[in-house]
Amino acid sequence: MLKYILPLGLFIGLLILLGVGLTLNPREVPSPLVGKPAPGFQLTRLDNAEQPVSEEIFQGRVTLFNVWSSWCTACRQEHPVLMDLARRGEVTLIGLNYKDSRAAARSVLEHSGNPYRLSAFDADGKVGIDWGVYGVPETFVIDRHGIVRYKHIGPVTAQIWEEKLAPLVRYLEKQS
């Protein structure tokens, strides 16, 4: 009896292991930043090279910190979703314009709308490295104390907003 159960059990075990392995997304590398204060930075605003922006921008409100670029195709895909969130006033969006040119980035916002309260301009991607950015777009959820609470890799879709980000944002907003 065991002679049949043993291989069958092994086969099922292997099936489960492969099933889990294949459905995990290897692109979603867990961020070591979650639970820690937002990494500090000193940048300028995308729309104004004179005006500084630092991580203090996160104090006092729940923020989606969205890393984007004019050269990034997936950013174009998520752009309408972000526009929609901004229009409905669901959450404050701050952009990190990553390895871009000011002119190209500004032209994107002029043509398709600007969902961000403001974007910080990270020309050489150094701040991106501090934030562990490895694929644009990436979106961080930051609570009102400036603590990173979640990182989403890849474009924000309506479904991701509804299922993952919105519940967390609402929960964080209820907290003092």
Instruction: Closer to another protein by CB, 29 or 158: give it.
Output: 29
Q: Using CB under 8 A as the criterion, which residues of the chain lie in contact with another protein when the complex forms? A: 3, 6, 10, 26-27, 29-33, 39, 99, 124-125, 129-135
Instruction: Name the minimum Å distance from CB 137 to another protein.
Output: 14
Which residue, 29 or 104, is less far from another protein as judged by CB? 29
Least CB distance to another protein at residue 60 (A): 26
Alpha-carbon distance of 13 to 6, in angstroms, equals 10
Please state the closest distance from residue 134 (CB atom) to another protein, in A.
4
CA atoms within 13 A on the CB side of 105: 23
The minimum distance between CB 78 and another protein, in angstroms, equals 19
Q: 153 to each of 44, 75, 113, 137, 138, how far by Cα in Å?
A: 24, 11, 22, 7, 5
Identify which of residues 150 and 161 has a Cβ nearer to another protein in the complex: 150
Going by DSSP bridges, is the β-strand pair 48-54/63-68 parallel, antiparallel, or unpaired?
unpaired
* Nearest distance from C-beta of residue 30 to another protein, angstroms: 6
Residue 113 or 125 having the CB closest to another protein: 125
Closer CB to another protein, residue 39 or residue 60? 39
